[in-house]
Amino acid sequence: DSWPAKGTIEYYAQLAFRDRFFRGRRLSEFDGPLAFSDGNSSFRISSLGFLHYTTVQLGTPGTKFMVALDTGSDLFWVPCDCSRCAPTEGSPYSSDFELSVYSPKKSSTSKTVPCNNDLCAQRDQCTEAFGNCPYVVSYVSAETSTTGILVEDLLHLKTEYKHSEPIQAYITFGCGQVQSGSFLDVAAPNGLFGLGMEQISVPSILSREGLMANSFSMCFSDDGVGRINFGDKGSLEQEETPFNLNQLHPNYNITVTSIRVGTTLIDADITALFDSGTSFSYFTDPIYSKLSASFHAQTRDGRLPPNPRIPFEYCYNMRQSRCKCFSDAWY
């Protein structure tokens, strides 16, 4: 086929199409996973909400962000052209971590997302079809939310083969101009990487572009060190737990049939959400009462009286000489 005249919009559009075509074909041939350009490592930071974090790179030139990994939400967002964001300097955590703020004007590959884009969920808030698409996401934590506009830019990745190759993929994400609640201090001060099943999540976008299989994997060790890979299909030998999906609002829901606390087995028939963006496990009654009663009965240390500053019903005075005095819980 003949190419458009060099230097025209059509010429560069054709180049971009060719890049995506060959990149997608190459990845399909190797059929291997992708990692972020800085690697697939993740880490838990106790001082920042006990969440699991990793480093991502966005834009041209690339800017790095330390983002929390969240399977309980869909949108990837970073602080951007801030009206109200977590401080990047002068905070208890800023001396330990390098935090960035994204600006569309400082990235030569950044593009705003118009209201008529299929991924614009807030188009009813738009006044014109080609205006900037706004977004608002509220989270379970009290009064915690992010507000801004949707943008497109390059996410820097690499293949996980013996000979790693750089990959740049256009993704849609949130330019988070206003944050509230926990995002201003203890949780995800530099952005949140939504890994949910909706079309706007990064795994869904990369899969639609033909860059990877529609899957990802995460592993976390007891000390909080872990890894994340995109397009990882697992192995035939591994055990599996099927999802219990709500087709209208798909999440990583699973069915829990029993809970073992120490030596006690509790029958259960509940649906639970696997949410890496939540620090603790939460249960409703009657399972909560059964689990806590069994746990308390098997705990040898004394229970502390209720404290309005502590959001937990069962707290114990653990003696330093005994590092293993609590029963394990298995689902």
Report whether pLDDT(24) > 90: no
In this prediction, residue 26 carries a pLDDT of 47
Q: Could you say which DSSP state residue 316 is in?
A: B
In this prediction, residue 256 carries a pLDDT of 93
Superfamily for domain range 31-230: Acid Proteases (2.40.70.10)
Most confident of 11-15, 26-30, 248-252, 323-327: 248-252
Interval 40-71: pLDDT, tens:
999 998 888 889 999 999 999 999 999 999 99
- The proportion of the chain whose per-residue pLDDT surpasses 70, expressed as a percent, equals 85
Report whether pLDDT(21) > 60: no
Q: Is 275 an annotated catalytic residue?
A: yes
Indicate the domain borders of the chain: 31-230, 253-330
- State how far the Cα of 220 lies from the Cα of 41, in Å rounded to an integer: 10
In this prediction, residue 175 carries a pLDDT of 98
Report whether pLDDT(14) > 70: no
Helix (H) or strand (E) holding 21: helix 9-30
Q: Which of 74, 153, 232, 275 is catalytic?
A: 275
* Residue with more model confidence, 154 or 278: 154
At 133, the pLDDT band (50, 70, 90 cuts) reads very high
Q: Which of 19, 38, 70, 328 is catalytic?
A: 70
- Region class of 94: left (phi > 0), else alpha (psi between -120 and 50), else beta: alpha
In this prediction, residue 176 carries a pLDDT of 98
Q: What is the DSSP string of 88-115?
A: SSSSTTTTTS----B-GGG-TT-EEPBT
Q: What is the DSSP string of 171-188?
A: EEEEEEEEEEGGGGTTS-
In this prediction, residue 77 carries a pLDDT of 98
pTM for the model = 0.84
Of 84, 150, 86, residue with least CA distance to 116: 150
Amino acid code (one letter) for 222 = D
